C-alpha cells in the first residue's frame, strides 16, 4: 500500500526564518503517526503543508497516493489546534456546512450531521445556536464537523490541548477506532506520553528539521539504554557511577541513561554500595528520553 | 475556482447576515429616516401651533390692506378645496364652503384667486355667474372667517394662513415685554410712508433665526406695497404684474440630433447622477465593510483555518464577496422599493407623489445598465481591499489605520459630485474617471452629459483589470492574513504578501 503522506526535502520560510527546513518523511497508510516537537518546532507548519493550507517553498508534499494536498481535500479531515464555532449558526447547520465544504451533498451532510450529533448526545442542541454550547459540547461538534465526510486521512493539531484525562482518553479511543477503520491519523503533540501510548510511528522535529523518525522501536533503538531504579539513601553524583551518562533523579526514583559500552552488572555492584535498592530494572529508552536527547542536545549546544 | 465552493460560502454568509435581527433593523432604519424627513417638519410645525405677531402701523392704511390680502389668499385656498369636490375635502370643509363646491368647480384657479381677493377687499362684484353666486355669500363668509380659530383652521387645512399665523392686538408699550416673555413671536413696524424708496420696515423678535413668520409676512406686505406703487405710478394691475415678472430661460437639451425642450422628468434626470453616486457610496461603504467584519469575525472565532483546509482562499474570498454582495442587493433594492413606495403614498398625501413619477420617468435603461456594471466592479474592488484588511487584522480597532486611505477614496467622489454634475465634460472630470478607485463614481456623476461610449468602454476595461489584480492580491493577503494571529502587518509586509507566490 502506498504511503499516505510523502514529504521530500520540504522547506517553508516566513521571511528569513525557516519554519521547516529540508524535511523528509513517509507516513504509512492506515497508521497513527505522531509529530513531536517543542513549541515552535515546525509541527503546525508541516501539518498545514500536508493539508494544503500552505505550499512548501522548496521540496514536495504529496498525500494519498501522490496527489497534491489541495486536490484531495474531500478525503482529508483537519482539526486545527485553535478551532472555533460560528456562534450565531445553528449547531446542525454548522456541522452540515463543514461537511458540505468537504464535498458532501447538502442532504447527505444534513442527515449525517443529525445522526452523529444525536449519537454524541447533542440531539437536544441541534437547533440551538453554537454560542449556547458548553466547551465540551462545542469540541464534540467541531470534531463531528471535521470528520463528517469520513476522510481517509485525519490530521489533528494538538488534539489533547486543554483536555482533561477523561476527554484525552476519549480522543485516544477515537484515534484507535480510526486506525481499525483503515484510516491514517497524524497528530502533533508536545506531550510525548500520548504519542508513546498510541503511535505506530513518530517523527521528532526541532527547528524545522527532522531529528528522528520511524516506528517507535526504530526511534528508541538508537537511544541510550536505561536503568530504572527505586532506592533509599544518597546516591551522590550519578555520573561517577560506571557506565552512567546522565540521570533523571526524582528523589527515590531515578532513570539512569547508560553509555553504549556500559556493563549493567558493574553498575549494580556500585549502586548496592551507595544506596539501598528497592527496584532495579533495565529496559529500552522511553520516548521522552529519546525526545529529550534529540532536542535537548541541540538546545544545550545553543 | 470551484463554483460550488464559492456558492456554498456565499450562501452561508448571506443567510448569516439576512437572518440576523440587526439586518432587518438596518433595512428599515434608512427608509424610517427618510420618512422622518418627510413627516417630522410637518409634525413639529403642528406641535408648534400658530405663531402670534403684532403690527405697529404708522401709515394708517397698510395693515388693513395686508390683512385683506392674507384673507383673500385664504379664501382662494378654501375655494380650491371646495372645487376639488373629493370626499376628503368635503368632510374637512364646513357647510358654508362645501355648499359652494359646484360654483367653485366652474372657476379656474386664477379666477378663484381673483375672487378670493375680491371677497376679502370688497372689490367690485365679479361678472361670472358662478362667481356671483359665491359673491352673494360674502357677508356670511367674512363672518365665518372672523370667528375662525387657528385650531379650527388647522383641522380644515394646515396651509391656511389663519391656521399658522395669528395677529394679536397689543399696545405699543407692551410689545417688547410681550415678545421677551414669549407671548408674541415677534412684531412688525410699518413706516409712515411705506411706499417711499428708503422706507424702513422692522421686525423684532426674540428668535431671529426663525424666519417662517418674517418671510411670510414680508411677502404679503411686499405684494401690497408693490401694487400701490404701481397704482400711484398710473399702472394697471396687469401692467404692474408684467413689470415685476422676472425673465426665465426655458431649458433646451442639445443632442447630436438637434435640440428639444427639457421636460420635468428630464430635469430630474439631470440630477439623478447625484442619486446614483450616493447610492454607490452608501452601498459600497456599508456592504463592503460587512466583508471586512465577517472576515475579522471568522479569525476571532478561529474558524478561518478550518475553512482554509477545506477550500481555496480565493474561493473563500469570492464566496464571501458574493454573499455580501447579495446582502447589499437585498438591502439597497429594499430601500429603493420602500422609499419609492413612501414617495408615492405618504408623499402623495404631502403633495410629493409626482416626484416619484418624475424620478422613475427620468431613469433610463442605459444608465441602469452602466450603474449596475460600475456598482458590481466598484463593489468588487472595494470588497477586495476590505476583505484583505479584515484578514490582516484581529479586530476592528486594528483595522482603522488601513481604512483611512480607503475612506479617502470613497469620500472624494462625494466632494466632487456636484462640480462634476455641473461640468461633466471637463477635462479633469474625464481624467479622474480613469483612476480605478474613482471610476464608478466619476462615470455615474458624468452620466447626465453623457460621456462618450469610448470612455464607458475604456474605464470599464481598466476597472475590470484592476479588480482582477486586486482580487488576486487580496486572495494572497487573505491566505496569509487569516493565519496571522500576531500584530497586523506593516504596509511593506502587506505588499510583500500580495506579491508572494
Q: Is the pLDDT of residue B47 over 50?
A: yes
Please give the residue that has the higher pLDDT: either B115 or A236.
B115
**In a shared domain, residues B372 and B413:** yes
**In a shared domain, residues B238 and B268:** no
User: Cβ of B301 and A70 within 8 Å?
Assistant: no
Contacts with B420 (C-beta within 8 Å, 6 or more apart), sequence order = B273, B426, B429, B442, B445, B446
Instruction: Report chain A's mean pLDDT, rounded to a whole number.
Output: 88
Average pLDDT score over residue span B317-334:
85
Residues B132, B135, B136, B140, Cα dihedral to 10° = 160
Residue B450: cis peptide before it, omega within 30 degrees of 0: yes
Sign of CA dihedral B58, B61, B62, B67: positive
Average pLDDT score over residue span B12-34:
83
d(CA A190, CA A171): 16
User: Cβ of A101 and B8 within 8 Å?
Assistant: yes
Q: Is the pLDDT of residue A300 over 60?
A: no
**In a shared domain, residues B376 and B284:** yes
What percent of chain A shows pLDDT beyond 90?
A: 45
Q: What is the pLDDT of residue B347?
A: 63
User: Cβ of A88 and B483 within 8 Å?
Assistant: no
Tracing cell 414680508 back to the chain, one arrives at B218
**In a shared domain, residues B137 and B15:** no
DSSP secondary structure string for all residues of B441-473: HHHHHGGGSPPPHHHHHHHHHHHHHHHHHHHHH
User: Cβ of A48 and B12 within 8 Å?
Assistant: no
**Given pLDDT bands bounded at 50, 70 and 90, which one contains residue B215?**
very high
Per CATH, A3-220 and A224-283 having the same topology is answered: no
Contacts with A217 (C-beta within 8 Å, 6 or more apart), sequence order = none
Contacts with A31 (C-beta within 8 Å, 6 or more apart), sequence order = A4, A179, A184, A185, A200, A201
d(CA B488, CA B295): 14
Contacts with B276 (C-beta within 8 Å, 6 or more apart), sequence order = B367, B371, B444, B445, B447
User: Cβ of A86 and B301 within 8 Å?
Assistant: yes
What's the gap in Å between the CA of A78 and the closest CA on chain B?
A: 7
Strands (E), B226-274: 252-255, 258-261
Question: For an interface test with A, which of B8, B12, B303 has the most A Cβ atoms less than 10 Å from its Cβ?
Answer: B303
Q: What is the pLDDT of residue B91?
A: 58
Region at B155 (left for phi over 0; alpha for psi -120 to 50; beta for the rest)? alpha
**Could you tell me the maximum CA-CA distance found in chain B, to the nearest angstrom?**
94
**In a shared domain, residues B236 and B282:** no
Q: Is the pLDDT of residue B188 over 90?
A: yes
What pairing do the DSSP bridges indicate for beta strands B165-167 and A244-249?
unpaired
User: Cβ of A101 and B310 within 8 Å?
Assistant: yes
Q: Is the pLDDT of residue B369 over 90?
A: no
Which residue in the set B8, B303, B305 is minimally distant from A53, CB to CB? B305
For B54, the domain range is 48-245
Nearest to B157 by CA among B58, B254, B79: B79
Q: Please indicate, yes or no, if residue B253 is contained in any of the structural domains.
A: no
Question: For an interface test with B, which of A47, A86, A90, A101 has the most B Cβ atoms less than 10 Å from its Cβ?
Answer: A101
- pLDDT tens digits along A66-115: 788 988 999 999 998 877 889 889 999 999 999 999 999 999 999 999 99
What's the gap in Å between the CA of B10 and the closest CA on chain A?
A: 12
- Give the chain A residue nearest B9 (alpha carbons): A101
Q: Please indicate, yes or no, if residue B369 is contained in any of the structural domains.
A: yes
What's the gap in Å between the CA of B400 and the closest CA on chain A?
A: 24
Give A-chain residues touching B307 at CB under 8 angstroms.
Answer: 101
Average pLDDT score over residue span B188-193:
94
**At CA B38, angle to CA B37 and CA B44, rounded to 5?**
80
**What residue spans define the domains of chain A?**
3-220, 224-283
d(CA B337, CA A19): 55
How big is the A-B interface in CB pairs under 8 Å? 58
* ipTM of the complex in this document: 0.82
User: Cβ of A83 and B302 within 8 Å?
Assistant: yes
User: Cβ of B309 and A98 within 8 Å?
Assistant: no
* B contact set with A (CB within 8 A): 5, 8, 12, 16, 19-20, 301-303, 305-312, 483, 485, 501
User: Cβ of B303 and A84 within 8 Å?
Assistant: yes
Taking residue A215's Cβ as centre, other Cβ atoms within 10 Å add up to: 14
Q: Is the pLDDT of residue A297 over 70?
A: no
What's the gap in Å between the CA of B499 and the closest CA on chain A?
A: 13
**In a shared domain, residues B201 and B309:** no
- pLDDT tens digits along B94-151: 888 888 888 888 888 888 888 898 889 887 777 888 888 888 889 999 999 988 888 8
d(CA A257, CA A125): 53
Give B-chain residues touching A53 at CB under 8 angstroms.
Answer: 305, 308-309, 483
Q: Please indicate, yes or no, if residue B270 is contained in any of the structural domains.
A: yes
Q: What is the pLDDT of residue A288?
A: 81
**Given pLDDT bands bounded at 50, 70 and 90, which one contains residue B296?**
confident
Q: Is the pLDDT of residue B265 over 70?
A: no
Tracing cell 500580495 back to the chain, one arrives at B498
Q: Is the pLDDT of residue B274 over 50?
A: yes
**In a shared domain, residues B321 and B268:** yes
User: Cβ of B483 and A52 within 8 Å?
Assistant: no
Give A-chain residues touching B305 at CB under 8 angstroms.
Answer: 53, 78, 80, 82-83
Phi, psi of B195 (to 5 degrees): -90, -5
Give B-chain residues touching A78 at CB under 8 angstroms.
Answer: 305-306, 309-310
Q: What is the pLDDT of residue B43?
A: 67
Which residue in the set B19, B301, B309 is minimally distant from A84, CB to CB? B301
**In a shared domain, residues B376 and B281:** yes
Q: What is the pLDDT of residue B357?
A: 62
Taking residue B486's Cβ as centre, other Cβ atoms within 10 Å add up to: 6
User: Cβ of B483 and A48 within 8 Å?
Assistant: yes
d(CA A62, CA A70): 10
Which residue in the set A83, A85, A88 is minimally distant from B16, CB to CB? A88
Give A-chain residues touching B5 at CB under 8 angstroms.
Answer: 101
Give A-chain residues touching B312 at CB under 8 angstroms.
Answer: 70
Residues A153, A154, A157, A160, Cα dihedral to 10° = -150
| Tally of CA atoms within 13 A in the half-sphere of B228 that contains its CB | 16
Q: Please indicate, yes or no, if residue B361 is contained in any of the structural domains.
A: yes
Sign of CA dihedral B166, B172, B176, B178: negative
Q: What is the pLDDT of residue B341?
A: 78
Q: Please indicate, yes or no, if residue B287 is contained in any of the structural domains.
A: yes
Question: For an interface test with A, which of B305, B483, B485 has the most A Cβ atoms less than 10 Å from its Cβ?
Answer: B305
Asked if B276 contacts B367 with a C-beta cutoff of 8 angstroms, the reply is yes
User: Cβ of B309 and A55 within 8 Å?
Assistant: no
Asked if A72 contacts A64 with a C-beta cutoff of 8 angstroms, the reply is yes
Q: Which of B245, B274, B308 is the last residue of a domain?
A: B245
Residues B55, B56, B57, B63, Cα dihedral to 10° = 10
**What is the domain class of A3-220 according to CATH?**
alpha beta
**At CA B172, angle to CA B171 and CA B177, rounded to 5?**
90
DSSP secondary structure string for all residues of B153-193: HHHH-TTSHHHHEEE----GGGHHHHHHTTS-SEEEEE-S-
d(CA B83, CA B100): 8
**In a shared domain, residues B173 and B288:** no
Give A-chain residues touching B315 at CB under 8 angstroms.
Answer: none
**In a shared domain, residues B227 and B355:** no
User: Cβ of A86 and B483 within 8 Å?
Assistant: no
Domains: count for chain B: 2
Strand, helix or coil for residue A227: strand
What's the gap in Å between the CA of A42 and the closest CA on chain B?
A: 15
Q: Is the pLDDT of residue A10 over 50?
A: yes
What's the gap in Å between the CA of A39 and the closest CA on chain B?
A: 16
Asked if B441 contacts B417 with a C-beta cutoff of 8 angstroms, the reply is yes
Q: Is the pLDDT of residue B187 over 90?
A: yes
What's the gap in Å between the CA of A25 and the closest CA on chain B?
A: 21
**In a shared domain, residues B458 and B492:** yes
Helices (H), ranges, B301-395 = 304-310, 313-344, 346-349, 353-362, 365-392
Q: Is the pLDDT of residue B48 over 90?
A: no
Q: What is the pLDDT of residue A243?
A: 86
Average pLDDT score over residue span B236-250:
78
**At CA B381, angle to CA B380 and CA B386, rounded to 5?**
95
| pLDDT-wise least confident of B162-166, B463-467, B477-481 | B477-481
Asked if B335 contacts B27 with a C-beta cutoff of 8 angstroms, the reply is yes
Give B-chain residues touching A84 at CB under 8 angstroms.
Answer: 301-303, 306
Q: Which of B245, B275, B308 is the last residue of a domain?
A: B245
d(CA B50, CA B42): 13
**What is the domain class of A224-283 according to CATH?**
alpha beta
Which residue in the set A54, A76, A87 is minimally distant from B301, CB to CB? A87
Q: What is the pLDDT of residue A92?
A: 96
Q: Is the pLDDT of residue B284 over 60?
A: yes
Q: Is the pLDDT of residue A173 over 70?
A: yes
Asked if B329 contacts B379 with a C-beta cutoff of 8 angstroms, the reply is no
**In a shared domain, residues B189 and B76:** yes
**Given pLDDT bands bounded at 50, 70 and 90, which one contains residue B247?**
confident
What's the gap in Å between the CA of B414 and the closest CA on chain A?
A: 36
- Give the chain A residue nearest B496 (alpha carbons): A15
What's the gap in Å between the CA of A173 and the closest CA on chain B?
A: 23
Instruction: Report chain B's mean pLDDT, rounded to a whole number.
Output: 83
Amino acid at each position: 500500500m502506498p504511503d499516505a503522506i510523502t514529504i521530500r526535502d520540504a522547506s517553508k520560510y516566513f521571511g528569513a526564518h525557516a519554519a521547516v527546513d529540508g524535511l523528509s518523511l513517509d507516513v504509512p497508510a492506515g497508521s497513527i503517526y505522531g509529530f513531536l516537537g517543542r513549541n515552535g518546532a515546525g509541527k503546525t507548519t508541516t501539518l498545514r503543508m500536508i493539508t494544503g493550507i500552505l505550499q512548501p517553498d522548496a521540496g514536495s508534499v504529496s498525500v494519498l497516493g501522490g496527489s497534491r494536498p489541495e486536490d484531495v481535500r474531500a478525503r482529508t479531515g483537519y482539526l486545527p489546534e485553535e478551532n472555533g464555532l460560528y456562534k450565531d449558526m445553528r449547531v446542525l447547520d454548522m456541522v452540515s456546512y463543514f461537511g458540505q465544504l468537504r464535498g458532501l451533498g447538502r442532504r447527505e451532510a444534513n442527515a449525517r450531521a443529525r445522526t452523529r450529533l444525536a449519537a454524541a448526545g447533542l440531539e437536544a442542541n441541534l437547533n440551538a445556536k453554537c454560542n449556547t454550547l458548553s466547551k465540551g459540547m462545542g469540541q464534540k461538534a467541531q470534531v463531528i464537523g471535521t470528520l463528517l465526510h469520513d476522510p481517509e486521512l485525519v490530521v489533528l493539531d494538538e488534539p489533547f490541548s486543554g483536555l482533561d484525562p477523561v476527554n484525552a482518553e476519549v480522543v485516544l479511543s477515537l484515534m484507535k477506532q480510526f486506525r481499525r477503520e483503515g484510516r491514517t491519523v497524524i497528530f502533533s503533540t508536545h506531550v510525548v506520553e500520548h504519542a508513546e501510548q498510541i503511535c505506530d510511528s513518530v517523527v521528532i522535529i526541532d527547528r524545522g528539521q527532522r531529528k528522528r523518525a520511524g516506528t517507535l522501536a526504530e526511534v528508541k533503538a538508537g537511544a541510550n539504554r536505561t536503568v530504572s531504579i527505586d532506592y533509599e539513601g544518597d546516591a551522590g553524583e550519578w555520573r561517577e557511577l560506571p557506565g552512567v551518562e546522565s540521570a533523571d533523579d526524582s528523589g527515590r526514583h531515578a532513570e539512569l541513561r547508560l553509555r553504549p559500552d556500559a556493563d549493567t552488572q558493574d553498575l549494580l555492584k556500585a549502586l548496592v554500595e551507595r544506596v539501598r535498592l528497592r527496584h532495579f530494572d533495565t529496559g529500552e529508552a522511553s520516548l521522552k528520553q529519546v525526545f529529550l536527547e534529540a532536542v535537548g542536545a541541540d538546545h544545550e549546544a545553543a | 475556482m470551484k463554483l460550488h465552493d464559492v456558492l456554498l460560502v456565499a450562501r452561508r454568509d448571506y443567510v448569516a447576515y439576512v437572518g440576523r435581527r440587526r439586518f432587518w433593523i438596518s433595512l428599515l432604519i434608512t427608509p424610517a429616516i427618510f420618512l422622518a424627513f418627510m413627516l417630522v417638519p410637518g409634525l413639529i410645525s403642528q406641535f408648534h401651533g400658530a405663531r402670534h405677531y403684532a403690527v405697529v402701523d404708522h401709515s394708517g392704511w397698510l395693515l388693513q390692506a395686508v390683512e385683506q390680502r392674507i384673507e383673500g389668499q385664504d379664501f382662494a385656498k378654501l375655494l380650491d378645496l371646495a372645487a376639488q369636490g373629493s370626499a376628503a375635502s368635503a368632510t374637512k370643509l364646513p357647510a358654508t364652503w362645501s355648499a359652494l363646491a359646484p360654483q367653485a368647480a366652474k372657476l379656474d384657479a386664477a379666477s378663484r384667486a381673483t375672487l378670493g381677493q375680491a371677497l376679502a377687499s370688497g372689490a367690485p362684484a365679479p361678472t361670472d355667474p358662478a362667481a356671483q353666486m359665491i359673491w352673494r355669500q360674502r357677508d356670511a363668509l367674512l363672518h365665518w372667517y372672523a370667528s375662525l380659530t387657528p385650531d379650527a383652521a388647522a383641522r380644515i387645512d394646515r396651509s391656511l394662513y389663519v391656521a399658522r399665523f395669528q395677529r394679536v392686538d397689543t399696545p405699543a408699550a407692551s410689545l417688547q415685554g410681550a415678545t421677551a416673555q414669549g407671548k408674541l413671536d415677534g412684531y412688525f413696524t410699518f413706516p409712515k410712508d411705506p411706499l417711499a424708496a428708503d422706507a424702513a420696515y422692522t421686525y423684532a423678535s426674540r428668535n431671529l433665526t426663525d424666519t417662517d413668520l418674517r418671510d411670510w409676512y414680508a411677502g404679503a406686505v411686499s405684494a401690497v406695497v408693490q401694487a400701490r406703487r404701481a397704482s400711484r405710478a398710473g399702472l394697471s394691475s396687469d401692467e404692474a404684474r408684467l413689470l415685476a415678472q422676472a425673465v426665465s430661460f426655458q431649458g433646451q437639451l442639445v443632442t447630436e440630433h438637434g435640440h428639444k425642450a427639457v421636460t420635468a422628468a428630464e430635469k430630474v434626470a439631470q440630477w439623478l447622477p447625484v442619486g446614483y453616486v450616493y447610492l454607490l457610496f452608501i452601498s459600497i461603504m456599508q456592504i463592503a465593510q460587512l466583508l471586512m467584519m465577517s472576515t475579522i469575525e471568522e479569525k476571532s472565532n478561529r474558524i478561518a483555518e478550518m475553512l482554509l483546509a477545506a477550500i481555496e482562499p480565493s474561493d473563500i474570498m469570492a464566496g464571501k464577496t458574493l454573499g455580501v454582495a447579495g446582502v447589499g442587493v437585498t438591502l439597497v433594492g429594499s430601500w429603493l422599493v420602500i422609499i419609492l413606495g413612501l414617495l408615492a403614498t405618504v408623499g402623495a398625501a404631502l403633495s410629493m407623489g409626482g416626484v416619484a413619477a418624475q424620478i422613475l420617468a427620468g431613469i433610463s435603461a442605459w444608465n441602469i445598465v452602466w450603474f449596475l456594471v460600475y456598482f458590481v466592479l466598484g463593489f468588487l474592488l472595494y470588497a477586495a481591499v476590505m476583505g484583505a484588511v479584515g484578514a490582516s487584522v484581529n479586530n476592528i480597532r486594528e483595522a482603522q489605520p488601513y481604512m483611512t486611505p480607503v475612506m479617502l477614496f470613497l469620500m472624494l467622489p462625494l466632494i466632487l459630485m456636484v462640480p462634476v454634475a455641473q461640468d461633466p465634460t471637463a477635462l479633469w472630470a474625464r481624467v479622474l474617471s480613469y483612476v480605478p478607485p474613482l471610476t464608478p463614481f466619476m462615470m455615474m456623476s458624468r452620466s447626465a452629459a453623457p460621456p462618450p461610449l469610448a470612455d464607458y468602454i475604456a474605464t470599464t476595461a481598466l476597472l475590470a483589470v484592476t479588480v482582477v489584480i486586486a482580487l488576486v492580491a487580496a486572495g494572497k493577503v487573505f491566505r496569509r492574513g487569516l493565519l496571522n494571529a500576531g500584530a497586523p502587518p506593516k504596509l511593506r509586509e502587506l505588499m510583500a504578501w500580495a506579491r508572494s507566490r
